[in-house]
Protein backbone atom coordinates (compact mmCIF):
# COMPACT_ATOMS: atom_id res chain seq x y z
CA UNK A 1 0.00 0.00 0.00
CA UNK A 2 1.46 3.35 -1.04
CA UNK A 3 1.21 6.33 1.29
CA UNK A 4 2.86 9.55 2.27
CA UNK A 5 4.88 9.55 5.42
CA UNK A 6 3.94 12.19 8.01
CA UNK A 7 7.45 13.63 8.04
CA UNK A 8 7.32 14.14 4.25
CA UNK A 9 4.03 15.99 4.60
CA UNK A 10 5.39 18.19 7.38
CA UNK A 11 8.52 18.90 5.36
CA UNK A 12 6.50 19.94 2.32
CA UNK A 13 4.32 22.22 4.44
CA UNK A 14 7.38 23.89 5.93
CA UNK A 15 8.87 24.30 2.45
CA UNK A 16 5.63 25.82 1.17
CA UNK A 17 5.51 28.19 4.14
CA UNK A 18 9.11 29.26 3.57
CA UNK A 19 8.36 29.84 -0.12
CA UNK A 20 5.41 32.07 0.78
CA UNK A 21 7.48 33.99 3.33
CA UNK A 22 10.30 34.41 0.81
CA UNK A 23 7.88 35.68 -1.81
CA UNK A 24 6.28 38.08 0.68
CA UNK A 25 9.68 39.37 1.78
CA UNK A 26 10.82 39.83 -1.82
CA UNK A 27 7.67 41.80 -2.63
CA UNK A 28 8.36 44.17 0.26
CA UNK A 29 12.04 44.78 -0.40
CA UNK A 30 11.75 44.94 -4.18
CA UNK A 31 12.88 48.26 -5.64
CA UNK A 32 12.13 49.29 -9.21
CA UNK A 33 15.25 49.99 -11.25
CA UNK A 34 13.75 53.30 -12.32
CA UNK A 35 13.45 54.22 -8.64
CA UNK A 36 17.12 53.34 -8.19
CA UNK A 37 18.01 55.52 -11.16
CA UNK A 38 16.07 58.46 -9.71
CA UNK A 39 17.69 57.72 -6.34
CA UNK A 40 21.13 57.85 -7.98
CA UNK A 41 20.39 61.16 -9.67
CA UNK A 42 19.04 62.56 -6.40
CA UNK A 43 22.13 61.48 -4.47
CA UNK A 44 24.44 63.08 -7.02
CA UNK A 45 22.44 66.31 -7.02
CA UNK A 46 22.39 66.47 -3.21
CA UNK A 47 26.15 65.89 -3.08
CA UNK A 48 26.70 68.77 -5.49
CA UNK A 49 24.38 71.03 -3.48
CA UNK A 50 26.12 70.03 -0.26
CA UNK A 51 29.55 70.85 -1.69
CA UNK A 52 28.30 74.19 -2.97
CA UNK A 53 26.83 75.07 0.44
CA UNK A 54 29.95 73.97 2.32
CA UNK A 55 32.20 75.95 -0.02
CA UNK A 56 30.74 79.16 1.40
CA UNK A 57 32.66 78.40 4.61
CA UNK A 58 35.52 76.39 3.10
CA UNK A 59 38.27 78.44 4.75
CA UNK A 60 36.47 78.72 8.08
CA UNK A 61 35.69 75.02 8.53
CA UNK A 62 38.26 73.04 6.55
CA UNK A 63 41.62 74.86 6.52
CA UNK A 64 44.39 75.83 8.92
CA UNK A 65 43.11 79.42 8.87
CA UNK A 66 39.72 78.29 10.19
CA UNK A 67 38.07 77.20 13.40
CA UNK A 68 39.74 73.77 13.42
CA UNK A 69 43.32 73.91 12.13
CA UNK A 70 44.97 70.55 11.64
CA UNK A 71 47.07 70.82 14.79
CA UNK A 72 43.84 71.08 16.78
CA UNK A 73 42.11 68.39 14.72
CA UNK A 74 44.86 65.82 15.25
CA UNK A 75 45.20 66.70 18.93
CA UNK A 76 41.49 66.43 19.74
CA UNK A 77 40.51 63.65 17.32
CA UNK A 78 43.29 61.07 17.59
CA UNK A 79 43.51 58.70 14.64
CA UNK A 80 41.67 60.98 12.22
CA UNK A 81 42.01 59.91 8.59
CA UNK A 82 41.01 62.56 6.08
CA UNK A 83 42.19 63.45 2.61
CA UNK A 84 40.92 66.96 3.32
CA UNK A 85 43.42 67.25 6.17
CA UNK A 86 46.51 66.38 4.13
CA UNK A 87 47.09 70.06 3.37
CA UNK A 88 45.73 73.05 5.25
CA UNK A 89 45.69 75.60 2.42
CA UNK A 90 42.33 76.69 0.92
CA UNK A 91 43.45 75.91 -2.64
CA UNK A 92 44.23 72.29 -1.72
CA UNK A 93 40.89 71.77 0.02
CA UNK A 94 39.13 73.41 -2.94
CA UNK A 95 40.87 70.91 -5.23
CA UNK A 96 39.52 67.99 -3.18
CA UNK A 97 36.08 69.62 -3.30
CA UNK A 98 36.41 69.75 -7.10
CA UNK A 99 37.27 66.03 -7.28
CA UNK A 100 34.27 65.25 -5.07
CA UNK A 101 32.11 67.39 -7.34
CA UNK A 102 33.32 65.50 -10.41
CA UNK A 103 32.50 62.18 -8.74
CA UNK A 104 29.04 63.47 -7.77
CA UNK A 105 28.42 64.60 -11.35
CA UNK A 106 29.51 61.18 -12.63
CA UNK A 107 27.06 59.61 -10.17
CA UNK A 108 24.28 61.87 -11.47
CA UNK A 109 24.73 60.76 -15.07
CA UNK A 110 25.61 57.17 -14.20
CA UNK A 111 29.12 57.19 -15.61
CA UNK A 112 31.17 54.36 -14.08
CA UNK A 113 28.49 54.35 -11.44
CA UNK A 114 29.98 52.00 -8.89
CA UNK A 115 33.35 53.75 -8.98
CA UNK A 116 31.68 57.18 -8.74
CA UNK A 117 29.63 55.96 -5.76
CA UNK A 118 32.70 54.62 -3.98
CA UNK A 119 34.71 57.82 -4.55
CA UNK A 120 31.77 59.97 -3.43
CA UNK A 121 31.33 57.91 -0.26
CA UNK A 122 35.03 57.93 0.62
CA UNK A 123 35.39 61.68 0.06
CA UNK A 124 32.24 62.40 2.09
CA UNK A 125 33.62 60.22 4.89
CA UNK A 126 36.84 62.20 4.67
CA UNK A 127 34.97 65.51 4.72
CA UNK A 128 33.05 64.51 7.84
CA UNK A 129 36.27 63.54 9.58
CA UNK A 130 37.83 66.92 8.76
CA UNK A 131 35.40 68.83 10.99
CA UNK A 132 32.92 66.77 13.08
CA UNK A 133 31.68 69.94 14.81
CA UNK A 134 29.52 71.01 11.84
CA UNK A 135 27.73 67.70 11.18
CA UNK A 136 24.01 67.11 11.52
CA UNK A 137 21.51 64.28 11.01
CA UNK A 138 21.30 65.02 7.28
CA UNK A 139 25.02 64.36 6.92
CA UNK A 140 24.66 61.02 8.73
CA UNK A 141 21.75 59.96 6.54
CA UNK A 142 23.46 60.97 3.30
CA UNK A 143 26.57 59.01 4.22
CA UNK A 144 24.46 55.96 5.15
CA UNK A 145 22.53 56.09 1.87
CA UNK A 146 25.80 56.28 -0.07
CA UNK A 147 27.17 53.34 1.91
CA UNK A 148 24.25 51.12 0.89
CA UNK A 149 24.46 52.47 -2.66
CA UNK A 150 27.83 50.76 -3.02
CA UNK A 151 26.00 47.44 -3.48
CA UNK A 152 22.92 48.70 -5.33
CA UNK A 153 22.52 48.53 -9.14
CA UNK A 154 22.22 52.29 -9.47
CA UNK A 155 23.50 52.31 -13.04
CA UNK A 156 20.96 49.85 -14.44
CA UNK A 157 18.69 52.53 -15.94
CA UNK A 158 18.92 56.13 -17.19
CA UNK A 159 22.71 56.11 -17.17
CA UNK A 160 25.78 56.31 -19.36
CA UNK A 161 26.65 52.81 -18.16
CA UNK A 162 23.26 51.50 -19.32
CA UNK A 163 23.87 52.92 -22.80
CA UNK A 164 27.30 51.29 -22.84
CA UNK A 165 25.85 47.90 -21.91
CA UNK A 166 23.09 48.22 -24.51
CA UNK A 167 25.61 49.09 -27.21
CA UNK A 168 27.84 46.21 -26.11
CA UNK A 169 24.93 43.77 -26.42
CA UNK A 170 23.93 45.16 -29.81
CA UNK A 171 27.52 44.91 -30.99
CA UNK A 172 27.93 41.37 -29.77
CA UNK A 173 30.25 42.18 -26.88
CA UNK A 174 30.50 39.42 -24.33
CA UNK A 175 31.12 41.42 -21.19
CA UNK A 176 31.45 44.73 -19.52
CA UNK A 177 33.83 46.35 -17.15
CA UNK A 178 32.92 45.24 -13.60
CA UNK A 179 33.53 48.80 -12.42
CA UNK A 180 30.58 49.98 -14.57
CA UNK A 181 28.33 46.95 -14.25
CA UNK A 182 24.95 48.26 -13.12
CA UNK A 183 23.50 44.93 -12.00
CA UNK A 184 26.46 43.52 -10.17
CA UNK A 185 25.26 42.65 -6.72
CA UNK A 186 24.04 39.98 -4.39
CA UNK A 187 21.94 37.12 -5.72
CA UNK A 188 18.35 38.31 -5.85
CA UNK A 189 15.70 36.99 -3.50
CA UNK A 190 13.27 37.71 -6.31
CA UNK A 191 14.14 39.75 -9.39
CA UNK A 192 12.45 40.69 -12.61
CA UNK A 193 13.52 42.83 -15.51
CA UNK A 194 11.98 45.87 -13.81
CA UNK A 195 12.75 45.43 -10.12
CA UNK A 196 15.47 44.01 -7.94
CA UNK A 197 15.12 42.55 -4.46
CA UNK A 198 18.19 41.59 -2.47
CA UNK A 199 19.97 42.40 0.76
CA UNK A 200 21.07 45.79 -0.56
CA UNK A 201 17.52 46.93 -1.35
CA UNK A 202 16.39 45.57 2.01
CA UNK A 203 19.12 47.57 3.74
CA UNK A 204 18.48 50.91 2.04
CA UNK A 205 14.77 50.67 2.91
CA UNK A 206 15.56 49.57 6.45
CA UNK A 207 17.95 52.52 6.89
CA UNK A 208 15.13 55.03 6.45
CA UNK A 209 12.80 52.98 8.63
CA UNK A 210 15.39 52.69 11.41
CA UNK A 211 15.78 56.47 11.45
CA UNK A 212 12.06 56.99 12.01
CA UNK A 213 11.59 54.21 14.55
CA UNK A 214 14.54 55.36 16.64
CA UNK A 215 13.34 58.95 16.55
CA UNK A 216 9.80 57.80 17.46
CA UNK A 217 11.09 56.11 20.61
CA UNK A 218 13.05 59.23 21.59
CA UNK A 219 9.98 61.41 21.05
CA UNK A 220 7.83 58.98 23.05
CA UNK A 221 9.92 59.97 26.09
CA UNK A 222 9.03 63.65 25.65
CA UNK A 223 6.02 65.24 27.31
CA UNK A 224 5.91 68.05 24.75
CA UNK A 225 5.83 65.67 21.79
CA UNK A 226 3.26 63.33 23.29
CA UNK A 227 1.03 66.23 24.37
CA UNK A 228 1.05 67.64 20.84
CA UNK A 229 2.78 70.91 21.74
CA UNK A 230 6.34 70.33 20.51
CA UNK A 231 6.14 72.13 17.14
CA UNK A 232 4.40 75.07 18.83
CA UNK A 233 7.47 75.51 21.02
CA UNK A 234 10.00 74.77 18.25
CA UNK A 235 8.63 77.67 16.21
CA UNK A 236 9.50 80.01 19.09
CA UNK A 237 13.19 79.25 18.53
CA UNK A 238 13.51 81.52 15.54
CA UNK A 239 17.12 80.62 14.89
CA UNK A 240 15.45 77.69 13.08
CA UNK A 241 12.30 79.13 11.55
CA UNK A 242 12.43 80.92 8.19
CA UNK A 243 10.30 81.52 5.08
CA UNK A 244 6.81 80.18 5.90
CA UNK A 245 7.98 79.34 9.41
CA UNK A 246 8.19 83.05 10.18
CA UNK A 247 4.41 83.27 9.84
CA UNK A 248 3.31 79.98 11.41
CA UNK A 249 4.38 80.72 14.99
CA UNK A 250 1.07 82.51 15.68
CA UNK A 251 -1.09 79.55 14.55
CA UNK A 252 -0.79 77.30 17.60
CA UNK A 253 -3.77 75.07 16.72
CA UNK A 254 -2.31 74.35 13.28
CA UNK A 255 1.09 73.62 14.79
CA UNK A 256 -0.48 71.25 17.33
CA UNK A 257 -2.17 69.42 14.45
CA UNK A 258 1.20 69.12 12.68
CA UNK A 259 2.75 67.73 15.88
CA UNK A 260 0.06 65.06 16.26
CA UNK A 261 0.26 64.12 12.58
CA UNK A 262 4.06 63.87 12.65
CA UNK A 263 4.11 61.68 15.78
CA UNK A 264 1.40 59.46 14.25
CA UNK A 265 3.45 59.08 11.07
CA UNK A 266 6.58 58.18 13.04
CA UNK A 267 4.79 55.38 14.84
CA UNK A 268 3.17 54.25 11.58
CA UNK A 269 6.56 54.08 9.83
CA UNK A 270 6.81 50.22 9.99
CA UNK A 271 3.99 50.21 7.43
CA UNK A 272 6.50 51.63 4.95
CA UNK A 273 7.99 48.14 4.80
CA UNK A 274 4.86 46.09 5.44
CA UNK A 275 2.77 47.73 2.71
CA UNK A 276 3.46 47.41 -1.01
CA UNK A 277 2.45 49.15 -4.21
CA UNK A 278 0.00 52.05 -4.09
CA UNK A 279 -0.70 51.92 -0.29
CA UNK A 280 3.03 52.16 0.40
CA UNK A 281 3.36 55.03 -2.07
CA UNK A 282 0.48 56.89 -0.39
CA UNK A 283 2.14 56.62 3.03
CA UNK A 284 5.56 57.52 1.63
CA UNK A 285 4.01 60.57 -0.04
CA UNK A 286 2.73 61.77 3.35
CA UNK A 287 6.28 61.59 4.73
CA UNK A 288 7.65 63.35 1.65
CA UNK A 289 5.03 66.09 1.98
CA UNK A 290 5.88 66.65 5.64
CA UNK A 291 9.59 66.94 4.83
CA UNK A 292 8.96 69.34 1.97
CA UNK A 293 6.94 71.41 4.45
CA UNK A 294 9.89 71.25 6.81
CA UNK A 295 12.17 72.51 4.02
CA UNK A 296 10.21 75.78 3.75
CA UNK A 297 9.61 76.38 7.46
CA UNK A 298 12.73 75.48 9.44
CA UNK A 299 16.35 75.98 8.50
CA UNK A 300 18.00 72.57 8.88
CA UNK A 301 20.20 72.54 5.80
CA UNK A 302 19.67 69.80 3.22
CA UNK A 303 18.21 67.29 5.68
CA UNK A 304 14.61 67.41 4.31
CA UNK A 305 15.80 67.03 0.71
CA UNK A 306 18.10 64.13 1.62
CA UNK A 307 15.16 62.36 3.25
CA UNK A 308 13.01 62.93 0.14
CA UNK A 309 15.77 61.33 -1.97
CA UNK A 310 15.89 58.45 0.51
CA UNK A 311 12.19 57.84 -0.07
CA UNK A 312 12.49 57.30 -3.83
CA UNK A 313 13.18 53.53 -3.49
CA UNK A 314 9.88 53.14 -1.60
CA UNK A 315 7.91 53.94 -4.76
CA UNK A 316 7.51 50.55 -6.42
CA UNK A 317 6.85 49.40 -9.99
CA UNK A 318 3.10 50.23 -10.17
CA UNK A 319 3.89 53.87 -9.41
CA UNK A 320 6.57 54.17 -12.09
CA UNK A 321 4.30 52.43 -14.57
CA UNK A 322 1.57 54.92 -13.70
CA UNK A 323 3.98 57.81 -14.21
CA UNK A 324 4.81 56.51 -17.68
CA UNK A 325 1.10 56.22 -18.51
CA UNK A 326 0.54 59.80 -17.38
CA UNK A 327 3.41 60.95 -19.60
CA UNK A 328 1.81 59.16 -22.54
CA UNK A 329 -1.65 60.55 -21.76
CA UNK A 330 -0.37 64.12 -21.56
CA UNK A 331 1.39 63.70 -24.92
CA UNK A 332 4.75 64.28 -23.30
CA UNK A 333 6.17 61.09 -24.77
CA UNK A 334 7.59 62.89 -27.81
CA UNK A 335 9.44 65.46 -25.70
CA UNK A 336 10.68 62.79 -23.31
CA UNK A 337 11.82 60.67 -26.25
CA UNK A 338 13.75 63.57 -27.81
CA UNK A 339 15.35 64.40 -24.47
CA UNK A 340 16.27 60.75 -23.98
CA UNK A 341 17.75 60.53 -27.46
CA UNK A 342 19.92 63.58 -26.79
CA UNK A 343 21.07 62.06 -23.51
CA UNK A 344 21.88 58.76 -25.24
CA UNK A 345 23.82 60.64 -27.91
CA UNK A 346 25.88 62.45 -25.28
CA UNK A 347 26.40 59.18 -23.41
CA UNK A 348 27.68 57.47 -26.55
CA UNK A 349 30.11 60.30 -27.26
CA UNK A 350 31.34 60.06 -23.68
CA UNK A 351 31.74 56.30 -24.01
CA UNK A 352 33.64 56.79 -27.28
CA UNK A 353 36.06 59.17 -25.58
CA UNK A 354 36.39 56.74 -22.70
CA UNK A 355 37.14 53.85 -25.05
CA UNK A 356 39.80 55.91 -26.84
CA UNK A 357 41.71 56.58 -23.63
CA UNK A 358 44.76 54.36 -23.05
CA UNK A 359 44.01 51.41 -20.82
CA UNK A 360 45.89 51.21 -17.49
CA UNK A 361 49.17 49.35 -17.49
CA UNK A 362 48.50 45.68 -16.86
CA UNK A 363 44.81 45.84 -17.78
CA UNK A 364 45.18 43.08 -20.40
CA UNK A 365 46.98 40.89 -17.91
CA UNK A 366 44.24 41.50 -15.32
CA UNK A 367 41.56 40.53 -17.87
CA UNK A 368 43.41 37.32 -18.61
CA UNK A 369 43.70 36.52 -14.92
CA UNK A 370 39.97 37.13 -14.46
CA UNK A 371 39.20 34.57 -17.11
CA UNK A 372 41.68 32.17 -15.56
CA UNK A 373 42.36 31.10 -12.01
CA UNK A 374 41.77 34.53 -10.55
CA UNK A 375 38.14 34.47 -11.66
CA UNK A 376 37.06 32.20 -8.83
CA UNK A 377 38.74 34.40 -6.24
CA UNK A 378 37.09 37.51 -7.66
CA UNK A 379 33.71 35.78 -7.58
CA UNK A 380 34.20 34.84 -3.93
CA UNK A 381 35.28 38.40 -3.18
CA UNK A 382 32.18 39.75 -4.90
CA UNK A 383 29.96 37.49 -2.78
CA UNK A 384 31.72 38.76 0.34
CA UNK A 385 31.35 42.39 -0.71
CA UNK A 386 27.81 42.26 -2.05
CA UNK A 387 26.19 39.73 0.29
CA UNK A 388 28.07 38.92 3.49
CA UNK A 389 29.13 42.46 4.43
CA UNK A 390 25.73 44.05 3.68
CA UNK A 391 23.99 41.41 5.81
CA UNK A 392 26.48 41.99 8.61
CA UNK A 393 26.09 45.77 8.54
CA UNK A 394 22.31 45.47 8.29
CA UNK A 395 22.34 43.51 11.54
CA UNK A 396 24.73 46.05 13.06
CA UNK A 397 22.58 49.10 12.26
CA UNK A 398 19.53 47.36 13.71
CA UNK A 399 21.51 46.55 16.84
CA UNK A 400 22.93 50.08 17.05
CA UNK A 401 19.44 51.54 16.71
CA UNK A 402 18.13 49.37 19.51
CA UNK A 403 21.14 50.29 21.65
CA UNK A 404 20.55 54.02 21.14
CA UNK A 405 17.15 53.73 22.85
CA UNK A 406 18.34 51.39 25.60
CA UNK A 407 17.08 48.05 24.28
CA UNK A 408 20.41 46.42 23.43
CA UNK A 409 24.17 46.71 23.69
CA UNK A 410 26.60 46.80 20.80
CA UNK A 411 29.81 44.75 21.35
CA UNK A 412 33.00 46.79 21.17
CA UNK A 413 34.25 45.26 17.88
CA UNK A 414 30.89 45.96 16.26
CA UNK A 415 30.88 49.51 17.61
CA UNK A 416 34.36 50.03 16.17
CA UNK A 417 33.19 48.81 12.77
CA UNK A 418 30.21 51.16 12.84
CA UNK A 419 32.35 54.09 13.93
CA UNK A 420 34.83 53.44 11.12
CA UNK A 421 32.15 53.93 8.47
CA UNK A 422 30.12 56.44 10.56
CA UNK A 423 27.03 54.22 10.67
CA UNK A 424 26.13 54.39 14.36
CA UNK A 425 22.40 55.00 14.68
CA UNK A 426 21.08 57.67 17.06
CA UNK A 427 18.57 59.93 15.28
CA UNK A 428 17.63 62.26 18.12
CA UNK A 429 16.40 65.07 15.86
CA UNK A 430 14.45 67.49 18.09
CA UNK A 431 14.12 64.71 20.66
CA UNK A 432 13.54 63.76 23.38
CA UNK A 433 12.78 67.41 24.15
CA UNK A 434 12.57 69.91 21.30
CA UNK A 435 14.60 73.10 21.26
CA UNK A 436 12.31 75.99 22.20
CA UNK A 437 14.76 78.69 23.29
CA UNK A 438 16.02 81.32 20.89
CA UNK A 439 19.83 81.55 21.04
CA UNK A 440 22.37 83.75 19.31
CA UNK A 441 26.06 84.64 19.64
CA UNK A 442 27.65 87.96 20.51
CA UNK A 443 31.43 88.19 19.96
CA UNK A 444 32.62 91.43 21.57
CA UNK A 445 35.92 92.49 20.05
CA UNK A 446 38.01 95.14 21.75
CA UNK A 447 39.76 97.03 18.94
CA UNK A 448 43.12 98.82 19.06
CA UNK A 449 41.42 102.21 18.87
CA UNK A 450 39.46 101.55 22.07
CA UNK A 451 36.09 100.81 20.41
CA UNK A 452 34.12 97.59 20.48
CA UNK A 453 32.60 95.66 17.62
CA UNK A 454 30.78 92.34 17.23
CA UNK A 455 33.53 90.59 15.26
CA UNK A 456 31.38 87.62 14.28
CA UNK A 457 28.59 89.64 12.67
CA UNK A 458 30.69 92.77 11.92
CA UNK A 459 28.02 94.85 13.63
CA UNK A 460 27.57 97.09 16.64
CA UNK A 461 27.60 95.19 19.93
CA UNK A 462 24.08 94.45 21.19
CA UNK A 463 22.69 91.80 23.53
CA UNK A 464 19.09 92.53 22.59
CA UNK A 465 17.18 89.74 20.91
CA UNK A 466 17.52 90.20 17.12
CA UNK A 467 14.37 90.66 15.11
CA UNK A 468 15.15 87.34 13.43
CA UNK A 469 17.80 85.26 15.25
CA UNK A 470 18.09 83.05 12.17
CA UNK A 471 19.73 85.92 10.28
CA UNK A 472 22.54 86.21 12.83
CA UNK A 473 24.00 82.87 11.71
CA UNK A 474 26.01 82.87 8.50
CA UNK A 475 24.70 79.42 7.52
CA UNK A 476 22.89 76.52 9.16
CA UNK A 477 26.29 74.84 9.61
CA UNK A 478 27.52 77.86 11.53
CA UNK A 479 24.48 77.53 13.79
CA UNK A 480 25.27 73.85 14.38
CA UNK A 481 28.93 74.61 14.99
CA UNK A 482 28.21 77.38 17.51
CA UNK A 483 25.74 75.14 19.35
CA UNK A 484 28.44 72.47 19.65
CA UNK A 485 31.01 75.04 20.83
CA UNK A 486 28.64 75.76 23.70
CA UNK A 487 28.81 72.10 24.78
CA UNK A 488 30.50 71.22 28.06
CA UNK A 489 32.96 68.84 26.37
CA UNK A 490 34.14 71.37 23.78
CA UNK A 491 36.02 73.97 25.81
CA UNK A 492 39.04 73.86 23.51
CA UNK A 493 36.84 74.72 20.55
CA UNK A 494 35.97 78.03 22.19
CA UNK A 495 39.63 78.98 21.93
CA UNK A 496 39.75 77.74 18.33
CA UNK A 497 36.72 79.87 17.46
CA UNK A 498 38.07 82.99 19.17
CA UNK A 499 41.46 82.53 17.51
CA UNK A 500 39.74 82.28 14.12
CA UNK A 501 37.69 85.43 14.78
CA UNK A 502 40.87 87.31 15.72
CA UNK A 503 42.71 86.22 12.59
CA UNK A 504 39.76 86.66 10.24
CA UNK A 505 39.03 90.18 11.52
CA UNK A 506 42.65 91.30 11.38
CA UNK A 507 43.06 90.02 7.81
CA UNK A 508 40.04 91.91 6.55
CA UNK A 509 40.02 95.16 8.60
CA UNK A 510 42.44 98.04 9.05
CA UNK A 511 41.97 98.27 12.83
CA UNK A 512 43.05 95.08 14.58
CA UNK A 513 41.15 93.40 17.38
CA UNK A 514 43.08 92.77 20.61
CA UNK A 515 40.67 90.64 22.64
CA UNK A 516 37.49 88.74 21.82
CA UNK A 517 34.86 87.83 24.40
CA UNK A 518 32.25 85.38 23.15
CA UNK A 519 28.81 85.28 24.74
CA UNK A 520 25.78 83.08 24.18
CA UNK A 521 22.55 85.01 24.62
CA UNK A 522 19.13 83.41 24.91
CA UNK A 523 15.44 84.19 25.32
CA UNK A 524 12.58 81.78 25.93
CA UNK A 525 9.06 82.96 25.15
CA UNK A 526 5.73 81.40 26.09
CA UNK A 527 4.11 80.55 22.73
CA UNK A 528 0.57 81.07 24.02
CA UNK A 529 0.75 84.49 25.64
CA UNK A 530 4.01 85.90 24.26
CA UNK A 531 5.55 86.59 27.68
CA UNK A 532 9.30 86.20 28.14
CA UNK A 533 9.96 83.35 30.56
CA UNK A 534 13.76 83.64 30.64
CA UNK A 535 16.42 85.82 29.03
CA UNK A 536 20.11 86.32 29.73
CA UNK A 537 23.59 85.89 28.33
CA UNK A 538 26.63 84.02 29.57
CA UNK A 539 30.30 84.18 28.69
CA UNK A 540 31.95 81.34 26.82
CA UNK A 541 35.50 82.68 26.69
CA UNK A 542 37.57 85.86 26.93
CA UNK A 543 40.44 85.47 24.49
CA UNK A 544 43.65 87.45 24.08
CA UNK A 545 44.39 87.57 20.36
CA UNK A 546 48.13 87.83 21.00
CA UNK A 547 48.16 85.08 23.63
CA UNK A 548 48.38 81.30 23.62
CA UNK A 549 46.40 79.25 21.12
CA UNK A 550 44.31 77.57 23.83
CA UNK A 551 43.13 79.80 26.68
CA UNK A 552 40.62 77.87 28.74
CA UNK A 553 41.84 78.83 32.18
pLDDT tens-digit map of 3-47? 566 666 877 777 777 778 888 888 899 999 999 999 999 999 999
Is the pLDDT score of 329 beyond 90? no
State what percent of residues in the chain have pLDDT above 70: 84
Confidence of residue 379 (pLDDT cuts 50, 70, 90): low
**Mean residue pLDDT across the chain:** 86
Domain extents in the chain: 197-315+376-435, 438-544
| CB crowding 199-222: b at 16 or more within 10 Å, else e | bbbbbbbbbbbbbbbbbbbbbeeb
- Helices 199-220, 6-29: inter-axial angle, 10-degree rounding: 80
Percent of the chain with pLDDT over 90: 58
Size (the chain), residues? 553
C-alpha count within 13 angstroms, C-beta hemisphere, residue 423: 29
Task: Give the contacts of 484 (CB within 8 A, at least 6 positions apart).
Answer: 133, 134, 490, 493
CA angle 496, 502, 507 (to 5 degrees): 125
How confident is the model over 546-552, as a mean pLDDT? 90
CA dist 97 and 92 (Å) reads 9
Contacts of residue 131, defined as CB under 8 A and 6 or more positions apart, other chains included, come to 61, 62, 67, 68, 73
Q: How confident is the model at residue 383 (pLDDT cuts 50, 70, 90)?
A: low
Nearest to 204 by CA among 255, 132, 151: 151
DSSP string computed for 385-440 = IIIIHHHHHHHHHHHHHHHHTTS----HHHHHHHHHTT------TT-SS---SEEE
- Reported as a single tens digit per residue, the pLDDT across 53-67 is 999 999 999 999 999
- pLDDT surpasses 50 at 180: no
Q: What is the mean pLDDT of residues 452-466?
A: 94
b/e per residue, 431-440, with b = 16+ CB within 10 A?
Answer: bebbebebbb
Q: What value does the mean pLDDT take over residues 248-254?
A: 88
Across the range 185-201, mean pLDDT stands at: 65
List Cβ neighbours of 376 (8 Å cut-off, separation of 6 or more). Answer: none
How many alpha carbons fall within 13 Å on the CB side of residue 325? 6
Q: What confidence category does residue 172 fall into, taking pLDDT thresholds of 50, 70 and 90? A: very low
The pLDDT of residue 378 is 47
Name residues whose C-beta falls within 8 Å of residue 136's C-beta, 6 or more positions apart in sequence: 300, 301, 303, 476, 477, 480
Compute the C-alpha angle 325/33/342, nearest 5°. 70
pLDDT of 244 above 70: yes
Cβ(417)–Cβ(396) below 8 Å: yes
Reference 24, options 190, 205, 243, 271; nearest CA is 190
Whether the per-residue pLDDT at 362 is higher than 60: the answer is no
User: Taking the model in full, what pTM does it have?
Assistant: 0.89
Residue 296 backbone phi and psi in degrees, to 5: -110, 15
Amino acid sequence: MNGTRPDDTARSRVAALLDRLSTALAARVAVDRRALAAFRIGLGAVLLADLAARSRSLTAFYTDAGVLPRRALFADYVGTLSVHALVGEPWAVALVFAVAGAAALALCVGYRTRLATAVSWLLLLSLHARNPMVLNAGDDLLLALLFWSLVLPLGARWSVDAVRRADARDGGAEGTDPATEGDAGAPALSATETAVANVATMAVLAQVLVMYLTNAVHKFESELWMSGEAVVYVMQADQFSYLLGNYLADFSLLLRAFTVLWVALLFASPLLLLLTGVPRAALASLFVGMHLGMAVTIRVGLFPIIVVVGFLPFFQTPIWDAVERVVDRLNWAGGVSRWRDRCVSVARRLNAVDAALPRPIGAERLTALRSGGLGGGLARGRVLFTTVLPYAFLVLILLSSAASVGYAEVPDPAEDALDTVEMSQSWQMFAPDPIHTTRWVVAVGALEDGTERDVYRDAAVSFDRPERAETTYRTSRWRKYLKNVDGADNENHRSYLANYLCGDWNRTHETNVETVTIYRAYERTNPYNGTVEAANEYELIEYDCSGAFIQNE
